[in-house]
Structure 1
Amino acid sequence: MTSGFVPPPYPYERLGEIKAIANRHPGGAIDLSVGTPCDPAPPQVIAALAEPGRAEGYPPSIGTPELRTAAADWIARRLGAKVDPDAEVAACVGTKEFVASVPQHLRLRTPSRDTVLYPAISYPTYEMGAILAGLRAVPYQSLAEIADADAERALCLWVNSPNNPTGALHDLTEAAGWGRERDVPVLSDECYAEFSYRRPAGTILGAGTAGVLALHSLSKRDNFAGARIGFYAGDAELVHYLREVRKHAGLMPSGPVQRAAAVALADDEHVEAQRDRYWRRMQRLCQMLDAVGLHADLPDGAFYLWFAAPDGDAWAATRMLAERAGIVASPGEFYGPVSTGYLRLAAVAPDEKIELAAQRVGLT
């Protein structure tokens, strides 16, 4: 019998032993391995989920006019770019499903190309989306190093700024230009756009919409990960194509969630408070790491600490953090082979949990 695709272990499911070690501490493990928000969504957003008349009928796959307008208004207000809500914006059921499914949709559109280019240090779903579509997944460390032969075969180029896991901010205008010169769609994952600390938040759409898509999530911005809602915006032809394909696939966010998302996007105050909260948590985590002989610099964006392991042994450092502080971290290899000597901590535990970790290593 011919063997087919065998899914690899999901990265975070490999942390069972580490979690068991961390759980030995009184008060249990403090899991900072997955970037899942822990803070409450704004009350007005939760209230919108229960508004009558939103759940009875099928919601529009492309997003309600209210949601698409709210998304376009938010892009203009917070990111300084202009998009047409009628032609250049559409909803998705959380951005992870979009990342994982868009390569197969693009392959149908351009069957002569078979390659997905993605950052060498990155969220693992960029690579997995290519694999699930039966395509070549080719990592790159800089745009300049991408081989001409790979560029000629590219269905798309992924960029991610602020970056997960490093927090780095990248030149999205440069990426847009690279794609336009080579007729390669550039897909810009901007789900951490609101969490930019060294300079104002940005978007690839600031360089125009031709040949690019920006992908945005309410999971991080609004602590709304459980609702599964996001949107993509950019090139009108590409948005139209993906809208039509996704309709046939039945990919539609629920009606109540679309209403709540529109409410969330209209409010900035809770996001400012959340950004400050993440910054304070990362500062405290840096102090905790220093206390156990590790060091992390505060990032330019996102809410992760990315730091080198002593002697390059990330699993040993992960185990030490579990033993000393009861913290569960992510070894860098989850984010690509070039990251094997690093660890990632997500500042996603409540303040009292982070203080508990600090106390475990002797901080007061």
Structure 2
Amino acid sequence: MFPERFSNLPAYAFPRLRSLLDAHAPGGPVTHMTIGEPKHAFPAWITDIIAQNAQDFGRYPPNDGTPELLQAIADWLHRRYGVTQPVDQIMALNGTREGLYNAAMALCSEAKDGQRPVVLTPNPFYQVYAVAAASVGAEPVFVPATEDTGHLPDYASLPAATLDRTAIAYICSPANPQGAVASRDYWEALIALAEKHDFQIFADECYSEIYRDTPPVGALQVARDMGADPERVLIFHSLSKRSNLPGLRSGFVAGGPESLRRIRQLRSYAGAPLPLPLQRVAEKVWADEAHVTENRALYVEKFDMADRILGNVPGYRPPQAGFFLWLPVEDGEAAALRLWTETGVRVLPGAYLSRETEAGNPGKSYIRVALVAPKDETQRGLSTLRDCLYA
């Protein structure tokens, strides 16, 4: 009665976490450090824009994004990456998760070289990558993104036969959960690999504006510099992390003309466009960098705080970007349960973000800790965590 292709998907991370922890009383004041939901203030003027355009909740919004929003995104891409992107090769998204899923639905071939297509995903990974692969009937191949590979997947290590069947390769940079950043050399090698084996790269860059010192290079930026096939790379961005607006559900996808045509066609039948007043907000938010600079400075303070508190922990690796810590422990589930029952600090076992393979589960010996709460709360949580797990 139900599709078999979804039968082997594990439970989503947060229901699993509730099953692990909620039968036990917290051992102290509850401190949430699990979900990556930004808690910094968003710009105060946003509510004014919504109020000024509230009457437009009574209108159907444009499917692909208002001309003003698409131009604001194009302008941002040029300022940020030096990329000149035609507005008809950009589409507004109802959050990047929608785009990362629907792009696979629109673009993954039914067969590659006469065989079942492959979708490559890093392991650990954002769960929508695996669900997208299942939805299009592709074979998901989970490639370890571990300390040995700089916490980014080494897709070039795969057999040529697998790469020849590959239709899509997902990559997240800055990486969730590890905070690793793909260098220009990494992108060049991956794009060259995709050109050789004729697959598309879906670059999830929603953490691109939270970094310590150097802005992460962009996949589309490198592809243009290389003169790669215009259809080779699609990028996905969001206002959730950049602007502390996870509830706005506003992002975008940009890529080649044929890819965007197909994604727009799917959206016209099955998509959920952003309400018009919220598109008006997004127009202004993409155009403003002052609040982004302020937001980034707050995260840099918390990066530095984490280094001070946890710097002596064996295996601690300061994140380059994003807002998660990927902390080594003996067993992630046992550590999360102990931390909850002894202190009330709530973190996510790394195994819940990874898939078990023949090589094991690369997240099993980690916990993910979100640095999204206000600074004082974050400091208390990190100090409590250190004293419980690493004393």
TM-score calculated relative to the size of structure 1: 0.89
SS of corresponding position for 1:42: coil
Q: How far apart are residue 57 of structure 1 and its match?
A: 1.5
CA RMSD of aligned residues (A): 2.5
Letter of the 1:154 counterpart: T
Q: What one-letter code is carried by the residue in structure 1 that aligns with 2:353?
A: Y
Match of 2:335 among 317, 322, 334: 317
Q: Which residue of 2 aligns with 1:92?
A: 93
TM alignment of 1:15-26, pairs within 5 A: 15-16=17-18, 17-18=20-21, 23-25=26-28
Q: Which moved more, 1:47-56 or 1:148-157?
A: 47-56
Match runs of 1:1-364 below 5 Å:
4=4, 5-6=6-7, 8-16=10-18, 17-18=20-21, 23-25=26-28, 28-52=29-53, 53-85=55-87, 87-107=88-108, 114-140=117-143, 141-170=153-182, 171-206=186-221, 207-208=223-224, 209-289=230-310, 296-309=316-329, 312-336=330-354, 337-357=361-381, 360=384
**Contact kept in structure 2, 1:103 and 1:155, CA below 8 Å:** no
| Aligned 8 A contact 1:38 1:223 in 2 | yes
Of the structure 1 ranges 101-110 and 142-151, higher mean CA displacement relative to structure 2 is found in 101-110
Cα distance in 2 for residues equivalent to 1:361 and 1:306: 13
Secondary structure in 1 aligned to 2:91?
strand
Tell me which amino acid in the other structure corresponds to 1:34. I
1:168–1:299 CA contact under 8 A, matched in 2: yes
Aligned partner of residue 45 in structure 2, secondary structure: helix
> 1:212, 1:234 within 8 Å by CA — same for their partners in 2?
yes
Residue 3 of structure 1, CA deviation: 7.8
Give the Å deviation of 1:236: 1.4
Contact 1:81 1:203 in 2 (8 A): no
Instruction: Tell me if the contact between 1:103 and 1:133 (Cα under 8 Å) persists in the aligned partners.
Output: yes
Q: 2-side partners of 1:356 and 1:235: how far apart? A: 46
Deviation sequence 1:94-140 (CA, Å, 0-9, x none):
11122233322223676755221111222222112212333211122
Q: After superposition, what is the alpha-carbon deviation per residue over 1:20-49, rounded to whole angstroms, capped at 9, x for unaligned?
A: 657441xx3211111111122111223222
Which segment drifts farther, 182-191 or 326-335?
326-335
Q: Which runs of 5+ in 2 are unaligned?
A: 144-152, 225-229, 355-360
Are the equivalent residues in 1 in contact too, given 2:310–2:386 (CA < 8 A)? no
* Aligned residues between the structures: 357
C-alpha contact 1:100 1:125 (8 A) present in aligned 2: yes
Percent identity of equivalent pairs: 30
The aligned amino acid for 1:251 is A
Deviates more, 1:260-269 or 1:146-155: 146-155
What amino acid is the match of 1:166?
Answer: Q
Shift of the 271–169 alpha-carbon distance from structure 1 to 2, 3 Å rule, reads: same
Structure 1 gaps of 5+ residues are none
Q: What's the secondary structure of 1:215's corresponding residue?
A: strand
TM-superposed CA distance for 1:287, in Å, is: 4.3
Q: SS in structure 2 opposite 1:134?
A: coil
Give, in angstroms, the shift of residue 315 of structure 1: 1.7
Counterpart amino acid of 2:273?
A: M
Q: How far does residue 178 in structure 1 lie from its aligned partner after superposition?
A: 1.9
Measured in 2, the distance between the counterparts of 1:284 and 1:270 equals 22
Distance 2:89 2:2 in 1: 44
Tell me the CA shift for residue 277 of structure 1.
Answer: 1.0
User: Aligned in 2, Cα 1:307/1:50: closer, same or farther, shift over 3 Å?
Assistant: same
After TM superposition, the structure 1 stretch with the greater mean CA deviation from structure 2, 107-116 or 318-327, is: 107-116
Q: Residues 322 and 258 (structure 1 numbering): CA distance in 2 closer, same or farther, change over 3 Å? A: same
Q: Residue 2 and residue 237 in structure 1: after superposition, are their counterparts in 2 closer, same or farther (change >3 A)?
A: closer
Q: 1:359 to 1:151 in 2, by over 3 A?
A: closer
CA displacement at 1:143 relative to structure 2: 2.1
Q: Could you state the TM-score of these two structures normalised by the residue count of structure 2? A: 0.83
Q: CA deviation at 1:319?
A: 2.5
Cα distance in structure 2, aligned partners of 1:302 and 1:109: 34
